[in-house]
Chains A and B, each alone.
Chain A
Amino acid sequence: MKIYYGGKKVKNLISLFIMVVLLSIVFFSVDLTMYVGDATMGRNFSYLAKIYQKDHPDVNIDVVVLPYYGGFMQKVSLSIMSGEAPDLVQITTGYIFQVSDYLINLVPYVEEAYNISAEEYKEQLYSMPKYCIEKGDSIIAVPLEYTVQGLWINKEMFEKAGVCYPPSGEREEPWTWEEFKNALTEVKKVNKIPYALSMDYSADRFLGYLGMWDIKILDENLNFVWGTYENAEEAIQEFINLFNEGYMPKAEWLSGQAADQDFFSGRTAAYWSGSWICTDAIRVSKDTGKEYDAAYLPKMNNWFGMPGGSFLGAFKTGKTEKEQAAIDFLMWMTDKEGGYSEFLKYGYYLSAYKDYSVDYENKQMNEWADTFSKLGENYPEWAVITRANEIGSRLYYEPLRKQLSLGIAGQATPKQIIENTKDEYERIRKDLGF
C-alpha cells in the first residue's frame, strides 16, 4: 500500500509504530491460567475469553480443564501448597470454603467497577451465592451460574399415563409426597418400565430430600443436630424404601450406575436432578425426538429446590500484574453488560442475580428457567449455611452418601447411619481444630 504524504519516511514510521504495538502486546501481554472443573464450562470460558480478548488483546487466558471427580481438588490443593496457584479458578459451593483463605479480596474492585458498596452488590444475589462469596468483610469470588435442584420429566411417558405434573395448566400446585409417589407408580405401570425415578448418587440430592422434611444435619452453628429430630429415622427409612419398593434403581446408589443414562434411555420416567441438565436435555431431545420438561419437586414440610452453583475467584499469587489482569477479567465476567449475560446464554445457565435474567432464545429453556426460578426462590436461610461450609464439604461428599449406600444395601439401619455420620462429623471437627 502506498502512502503519498512524505513517502518513505511515513511508511517507515508506520511500520515502526505497528512493530512497537505488536511488541508491546507481546512483551506486556499477560498469560493467565484458569482451572475449571467441567469440560463444557471450560469450552464456554474459552469462547468468552476470545470475546474478552477482542477488547484486551494483551491478555491470554489458558483454560485448563481438570476432571472434577478425579482430581480437581487435589490439583488445586497441591497448587496452593506449592505456591503455584493458578491465576483464576472456577470453583463450586462444595469446595469454595476450602480455598477461601487464598483468594483475593475483591471488595475494592467491585466498589470501583459498579460505584456501589460491597453490601449493595451482594444484596443483588440470591442468598446462596451471596453467602458463598463473602468471608467476613471480604468478597472472595464472583458468582457464575446458579443451579437449582428440580425434577425432570419424560413428557411422553407422563402423557401416556395421563398424569399431569406441576407446573402446568392442569396442575399449578406442587405434589404432596403421597401424590408424588402415586404419580410415579402410575407412570411406571402404564409405561411398563422397571423403575420410575432416577437420582444421582450424590449427598446433595439427599440433602434436598431432607430439606423437604425440614430436617437439618448441621444447624447454623455447625452443630450436629440430625439425631435430635423425631422423624429423622423415618425420613431415612422412607428414602431407603424408594429403592426397596422399586421407585428408584438400587444400582444408581450401590454401584454408581449413571442416573442420567437411566433417565435418557427411558428406563425411568423422572429424574431428580437440576438446572444443570438443560444443555443435555436439549441435546438429547434434538437427537432422539423425545421431549423432556422441568417440573416441581414434591412439597412436604418445606418446598424448595436446593440451590448451588459455582464461582470465579482469583488466587493471591503475589504477581501483581497477573493479579490485576485476573481481577479485570473477573469484573468483566460478573458484569451483566460484560461477559455475564453472554455466559448465561451460551451455556444455558441460570442467573445468580435475583432481579436479572436473560432471554435464552430457546422457548424450552426460557420455560425451564421459569420453573427453576420458582423452585429456587423460597429456600430457607439454613439450607445455605448448613450446607456450604468447611465441615459440610468434608462430611457430605463421601461419608454421608456412603452411609446411605450401606443403608440401601441393608448393611446399616437409619439409626446407625445417623450415628456413624455423627462420628465422622466429630472427627472432622477435631481435624479442623474447632
Chain B
Amino acid sequence: MTRKIVVIILAIIFMIPVYWTVISSFKTLGEIYQYPPTIFPKHFSLEGYNSIFKNMDFIRYLGNTLFVAIVSTVFTVFLCLTVGYSLAKGTFRGKNFLSSLIMVTLFITAEITMVPLFIIIRKLGLMNSLWGLIIPVVFTPTGAFTAVQYMKDIPDELLESAKIDGATEIQIFNRIIVPLSKPLIAALSIFSFTWRWNDFILPLIVINESKLYTIQLALSSLQGQYGVAWNEVLALTVLSIVPTLIIFLLFQNLFMKGLMAGGLKY
C-alpha cells in the first residue's frame, strides 16, 4: 500500500509540467500571457489547434514523422539484436575493442557532429529525403549498448546445448535469442520510436523542402525571429506527444505479457 501512495505522489509531481502544457494549450493567447497564471482555462479555446491545422500541413508532417519513426524502429531493433548478440556472446578477437569503441561514441553530442554528419549525408546522396533521417541514425550506440548488457544475462548453457543439438547460428538466433529478448525488443521499440520522433537536429540539416517536414522541425520553426506564437507551440507540442504515448501503451501490452510464462530454467 505504501508503495502505491509513494508512486501516486511522485506521479503527480512528474506530471505537473505536462498537465500545465496540456491545459495551457487550450487557452487563448491572451490568457496564456496572463499573470497570475490560471490553473484552469477561463475560456476553453481551440484557437491554438485551429491555427496549427490551418497554417500547417499537419497531417503530412505527421505522416512523414510516422514513416521515419516506424521504419527506423524496425531497422534499429534488428541491428541492436544482432550486434547485441555478437558483442555479448561472440568470441572474436576485436570484441572488447569494438564494445569500448561504441561506448565512447555514447558521449558525442549531436550538435557538434552536425557539420561532419552533413558532409557525409550529402556525399551519400541522402540529402532532402526521409531516408536521410533514417539511415544515419538507425544504428544507435545507446540501443546497442543496452542490447549488449541485456544479452549478457542470457545463460551460455542454453546456447551451448543448442549447438550440441546441432543448431546453426541462425537457428540459435531465431529460436532462442529473439524469443528470450521480447522485453528488450519492446523496450528498444519504444526507445527508438521516441528518439526518431523527437529528432530535431537531423531534420534541420537534411530537409530542404516543407513537404518533407517532420513535426519537430515544424515545432522548432514556430520559434521565430519576431516572436513566438505560444498557443500554437503548446498545441503542436501536445499533438506531438500523443503518438509516442500510444506506441508506449501498445507495446507494453504486446510484448511484456507472458514473459515469465515461458520461464527461464536454470
Residues of A within 8 A of B (CB): 33, 37-43, 62-72, 74-75, 78-79, 82, 84, 86, 92, 258, 260-261, 264-267, 276-277, 279-280, 283-284, 286-288, 310
Q: A62-B209, A71-B204 are in contact. List 11 more A-B contacts (CB 8 A).
A: A41-B224, A41-B226, A68-B224, A70-B223, A82-B119, A260-B227, A261-B33, A276-B226, A287-B28, A287-B30, A310-B225
Q: Is B220 an interface residue (CB 8 A)?
A: yes
Interface magnitude class on chain B: 20 to 34
Cα distance A33–B210 in the bound complex, in angstroms? 9
With CB as the reference atom, state the residue of chain A lying closest to B121.
Answer: A82
Q: Is B211 an interface residue (CB 8 A)?
A: yes
Contact B208 A33 (CB under 8 A): yes
Cα distance A34–B19 in the bound complex, in angstroms? 37
- Which residues from chain B contact A261 at a C-beta distance below 8 Å? 33
Contact A78 B118 (CB under 8 A): yes
Cα distance A64–B221 in the bound complex, in angstroms? 9
Contact B223 A265 (CB under 8 A): no
- A42 partner, pick from B28, B35, B221, B228, beta carbons under 8 A: B221
Cα distance A65–B224 in the bound complex, in angstroms? 9
Q: Is B106 an interface residue (CB 8 A)?
A: no
Cα distance A266–B35 in the bound complex, in angstroms? 7
Contact B210 A70 (CB under 8 A): no
- Which residues from chain B contact A37 at a C-beta distance below 8 Å? 224-225
User: Which residues 14-61 of B have a CB within 8 angstroms of A?
Assistant: 28-31, 33-35, 55
Cα distance A71–B114 in the bound complex, in angstroms? 11
Q: Is B175 an interface residue (CB 8 A)?
A: no
Contact A280 B205 (CB under 8 A): no
Contact A64 B210 (CB under 8 A): yes
State how many angstroms separate the Cβ of B236 from the closest Cβ of chain A: 11
* 8 nearest A-B pairs in the assembled complex, by CB-CB distance: A287-B30, A38-B224, A288-B30, A68-B225, A265-B35, A264-B33, A65-B221, A67-B220
Cα distance A288–B122 in the bound complex, in angstroms? 49
With CB as the reference atom, state the residue of chain A lying closest to B123.
Answer: A82
Q: Is B254 an interface residue (CB 8 A)?
A: no
Q: Is B247 an interface residue (CB 8 A)?
A: no
- Which residues from chain B contact A33 at a C-beta distance below 8 Å? 208-209
Contact A74 B229 (CB under 8 A): no
Q: Is B98 an interface residue (CB 8 A)?
A: no
- Which residues from chain B contact A40 at a C-beta distance below 8 Å? 224, 226-227, 229
Cα distance A171–B220 in the bound complex, in angstroms? 43
With CB as the reference atom, state the residue of chain B lying closest to A68.
Answer: B225
Contact A70 B220 (CB under 8 A): yes
List 30 contacting pairs A-B, 8 Å CB cutoff, sorted by A: A38-B225, A39-B222, A39-B224, A39-B229, A39-B232, A40-B229, A41-B226, A62-B209, A63-B210, A65-B210, A65-B221, A67-B222, A67-B223, A68-B225, A71-B220, A75-B205, A78-B118, A82-B122, A84-B122, A84-B208, A86-B208, A261-B33, A265-B35, A276-B227, A277-B226, A283-B29, A284-B33, A286-B30, A287-B31, A288-B34
Cα distance A38–B208 in the bound complex, in angstroms? 16
- Which residues from chain B contact A84 at a C-beta distance below 8 Å? 122, 127, 208
Q: Could you give, for residues 112-147 of chain B, a 1 whenever the CB lies within 8 Å of some chain A CB and a 0 otherwise?
A: 001100110010000100000000000000000000
State how many angstroms separate the Cβ of B243 from the closest Cβ of chain A: 22
User: Which residues 205-251 of B have a CB within 8 angstroms of A?
Assistant: 205, 208-211, 220-229, 232
- Which residues from chain B contact A276 at a C-beta distance below 8 Å? 226-227
- B34 partner, pick from A69, A265, A286, beta carbons under 8 A: A265
Contact A74 B30 (CB under 8 A): no
With A42-B221, A84-B208 as contacts: A287 and B122 at CB distance below 8 Å: no
- Which residues from chain B contact A68 at a C-beta distance below 8 Å? 223-225
- Which residues from chain B contact A39 at a C-beta distance below 8 Å? 55, 221-224, 229, 232
Contact B208 A79 (CB under 8 A): yes
With CB as the reference atom, state the residue of chain A lying closest to B33.
Answer: A264
With CB as the reference atom, state the residue of chain A lying closest to B119.
Answer: A82
Contact A66 B122 (CB under 8 A): no
Cα distance A40–B211 in the bound complex, in angstroms? 18
Cα distance A261–B33 in the bound complex, in angstroms? 6
Cα distance A82–B227 in the bound complex, in angstroms? 30
With CB as the reference atom, state the residue of chain B lying closest to A260.
Answer: B227
Q: Could you give, for residues 77-121 of chain B, a 1 whenever the CB lies within 8 Å of some chain A CB and a 0 otherwise?
A: 000000000000000000000000000000000000011001100
- Which residues from chain A contact B115 at a C-beta distance below 8 Å? 78
- Which residues from chain A contact B228 at a C-beta distance below 8 Å? 258
With CB as the reference atom, state the residue of chain B lying closest to A275.
Answer: B226
Cα distance A78–B55 in the bound complex, in angstroms? 27
State how many angstroms separate the Cβ of A209 from the closest Cβ of chain B: 20
State how many angstroms separate the Cβ of A294 from the closest Cβ of chain B: 16
State how many angstroms separate the Cβ of A29 from the closest Cβ of chain B: 15
Cα distance A230–B46 in the bound complex, in angstroms? 56
